Amino acid sequence: MQKKYHILDENLKNKIFSQYSLILLIIIGISCLIRFYYFPTEIPLTADALYYFWYSSDIYQIGALPNSWTPANNGWSIFVSVFFTMLGSENIFELMQIQRILSVVISISITIPVYFLCKKFVARKFAVIGASLVAFDPRLMINSFLGITDPLYLLLISSGLTLFLSSNKKLVISSFFVISLATTVRGEGIVFLVGLFILFFIKYKKEKYKVIFNYIIIIIIITTILLPVTMYRIDTNGQDPIFTRTIDSADDALLKVTEKEENDWGNDNVKDRIVNGFKTLIQYLVWISIPNFVIFLPLGIFLIFRNKNFEKNTIIISTVLMLIPALYAYTFPSNPALDTRYLYLLFPIFSVFTVLSIERIIGKITKANLLIMIILCSIIFSSMIFYDYKKIDYEHEKESFKIMKEVLLKVKGVNNLPTESRYLNTIQTINQWPTPYSEIEFNIEIISYENEDNLQDWISKSKNKGLTHILIDNNQQRPDFLKEVFFEEEKYTYLKKIYDSRNQGFNYQLKIFEINYELFES
């Protein structure tokens, strides 16, 4: 009789597992359909994505790692280059789309480790909600279209954390392999790697001598992955961002914290910079919690501190470790990197906090399954509304790309026009491909405006930098002196308008003015 009940129990478990596996697959499928519905098919890579593309393309062209240059973080590019080689396309647009497609697919894949991470803290039906939070998050969706490091880094970190929380020691040890790979994708992964290294000792400290043997295995794993990467980067660039830049950044931060006098930040006081860094961190944390985390996140944070165990402590410590690189980026560089994407790494943990709250609130309700379906639908609906609000205007991007082709033919040195002028390097790359990156001739000088508040001062300072033309549109975020030229061009006799995109039938209006330095200086 006992055996019969055991069989029935196993059958029930298998049925439940199959049920929620199906729901998870449906979530992944819907997420896939949404992402590829919005996929930007006619827009090339720019900015950081273009930088990673150069390296992947060079590997593809020469069949080996370049010995003249490498990105600070080359793990993503090496991964992409494998697919370039497998598919063997001779079309640069196709290769750029491959990089973007890989980014999208990886972003969708994050759903799987997040599901298993949440399942360590809540029942399967609530873990499904946690998976949906990252599957449909509008920021991760937009980020996946860029073709940069974030999706792969997030996938590896979330997978590593999930493996580390396993009850199987072999899987725990394998987490160091995964986190080491993550560190090749983004150097700040070393912070998380060191943190888990310490936590491993705490987890298995009762094993005494056996833990030393396990440590040796872990060190061998980390060394096998990171040492070749480190040596290659040192040979190529003279330093390695995993260790050298991390140590230098820590020393720099410590020095600036301990300094009492003004430093190279100008008039900014060190204390003020730190306070502003924390303010930025808090503001961004609140901002990224909208729309799907903001309601349940506070209760989840409270619950994680109740009845603490090793798993919960690991989540708390992991949160702190993930915040350290973001806080540094917002505080210590001369020009702080004010970007919310440094915090996307927290989304799997935010999912854990959220499902802890939901389980606590509705876990004992008889019609909990119905409420779960309502929550899942609400997540999709709110995400799509927010995505529609935040999404990139791809029609504008298409026009910007086409217009910048015209700009390239007419200018030698222009002002930086975020974000449209970033296509200038893309176009020069396309025109010269498959020329290796180190041999590409970038003939256009792109000059930024600094603290000038009038056109004359900026032109005077920029002449020696190669400024020959000015790009101006009607974006209200441009400096006032540029907006004045756009609307009152007749006042500036030393500026000759040579191009207006509206005359070419574009909706996006951009004007090109040639600077007559003889008239300007007279």
Question: Which tens digits make up the pLDDT trace of 311-350?
Answer: 999 999 999 999 999 998 888 776 777 889 999 999 999 9
Rounded CA-CA distance 318/199 in Å is: 10
Contact 166, 172 (CB under 8 A): yes
With beta carbons less than 8 A apart as the criterion, state whether 111 and 351 touch: no
Per-residue pLDDT at 261: 44
Whether residue 14 is predicted with pLDDT greater than 60 in this model: the reply is no
Pair 181, 152: CB distance under 8 Å: no
- Give the pLDDT score at 267: 46
Structure tokens at 348: 């799997």
Are 349 and 419 in the same domain? no
- Decide if pLDDT at 297 tops 50: yes
Q: Judge contact between 159 and 118, C-beta under 8 A.
A: no
Whether residue 386 is found in the same domain as residue 426:
no
Looking at the fold, whether 515 and 434 belong to one and the same domain comes out as: yes
pLDDT at 1 over 80: no
> Which parts of 110-148 fold into alpha helices (H)?
111-119, 124-135, 138-144
- Of 79, 169, 161, the residue nearest 113 (C-alpha): 161
CA–CA gap between residue 482 and residue 474 (Å, rounded) = 9
332/455 same-domain check:
no
In the chain, the N- to C-terminal Cα span, in Å, equals 104
d(CA 407, CA 399): 12
Q: In this structure, are 402 and 445 located in the same domain?
A: yes
Q: Which of 374, 390, 406 is the last residue of a domain?
A: 390
Both tokens assigned to 47 = 């900015």
Average pLDDT over residues 411-419: 89
Query: How many Å apart are CA 161 and CA 476, to the nearest integer?
Result: 44
Q: Are residues 262 and 398 in the same domain?
A: no
What pLDDT does 212 receive?
86
Dihedral sign, Cα of residue 322, residue 324, residue 326, residue 327: positive
Q: What pLDDT shows up at residue 80?
A: 97
Spatial CA neighbour of 119 closest among 346, 350, 355, 312: 355
Yes or no: say if 354 and 362 are a contact pair by the CB < 8 Å rule.
Answer: no
Q: Provide the residue type at 118 as one letter.
A: C
Q: Could you read off the pLDDT of 225-281 as tens digits, one per residue?
A: 999 999 998 888 877 767 665 555 555 555 555 554 445 544 456 777 888 888 999
Residue 510: phi and psi, rounded to 5, are: -130, 135
* 354 & 456 share domain: no
Q: Are residues 325 and 446 in the same domain?
A: no
Q: For residue 360, what are the contacts with CB-CB under 8 A and spacing of at least 6?
A: 299, 303
pLDDT digits (tens, 9 = 90+) for 347-400: 999 999 999 999 998 877 777 788 888 889 999 999 999 998 888 889 999 999
Supply the mean pLDDT for the chain: 88
Q: What are 494's two structure tokens? A: 């030393």
- Given a cut of 80, whether residue 16 has pLDDT beyond it is no
pLDDT at 352: 96
At 237 the pLDDT is 82
Please enumerate in sequence order all residues whose Cβ is within 8 A of that of 445, keeping only pairs 6 or more positions apart, or say none: 412, 413, 414, 465, 466, 467
Work out the average pLDDT over 21-30. Answer: 91
Tell me the percentage of the chain whose pLDDT exceeds 90.
57
Distances (CA, A) of 391 to 40, 143, 333, 506: 11, 10, 29, 21
Q: State the helix-helix crossing angle for 111-119 and 92-109, rounded to 10 degrees.
A: 10
Rounded Cα distance between 149 and 167, Å, is 30
The Cα 285–Cα 139 span in angstroms is 13
Q: Which of 357, 372, 390 lies at the terminal end of a domain, its last residue?
A: 390
Assess whether 451 and 517 both reside in one domain.
yes
Q: What is the pLDDT of residue 344?
A: 95
Nearest one of 10, 435, 393, 67 to 236, comparing CA atoms:
67
The rounded Cα 269 to chain-centroid distance in angstroms is 30
Q: Is the pLDDT of residue 401 over 90?
A: yes
For residues 321 and 370, membership in a common domain is answered with yes
Give pLDDT tens digits for 458-478: 888 888 999 999 999 988 888
Q: Is residue 452 within 8 Å of residue 467, measured between CB atoms?
A: no
pLDDT at 273: 80
Number of separate domains in the chain:
2
Between the CA atoms of 513, 514, 517 and 522, what dihedral angle is there, to the nearest 10 degrees?
A: -50
Name the residue range of residue 447's domain.
Answer: 394-521
Angstrom distances, CA of residue 477 to CA of 169, 420, 473:
54, 13, 10
C-alpha 375/C-alpha 138 separation (Å) is 16
When pLDDT is averaged across residues 426-451 and rounded to a whole number, the result is 88
Q: In whole angstroms, what is the distance from residue 148 CA to residue 152 CA?
A: 9
Question: Is there a single domain that holds both residue 290 and residue 204?
Answer: yes
Structural tokens at position 202: 């705490």
pLDDT surpassing 90 at residue 3: no
Is 0.85 topped by the overall pTM? yes
Is residue 457 domain-shared with residue 430, that is, in the same domain? Answer: yes
End of a domain among 390, 425, 440? 390
Q: What is the pLDDT of residue 48?
A: 93
For residue 468, whether the previous peptide bond is cis, meaning omega lies within 30 degrees of 0, is no
Q: Are 115 and 133 within 8 A, CB to CB?
A: no
More confident: 143 or 334? 143
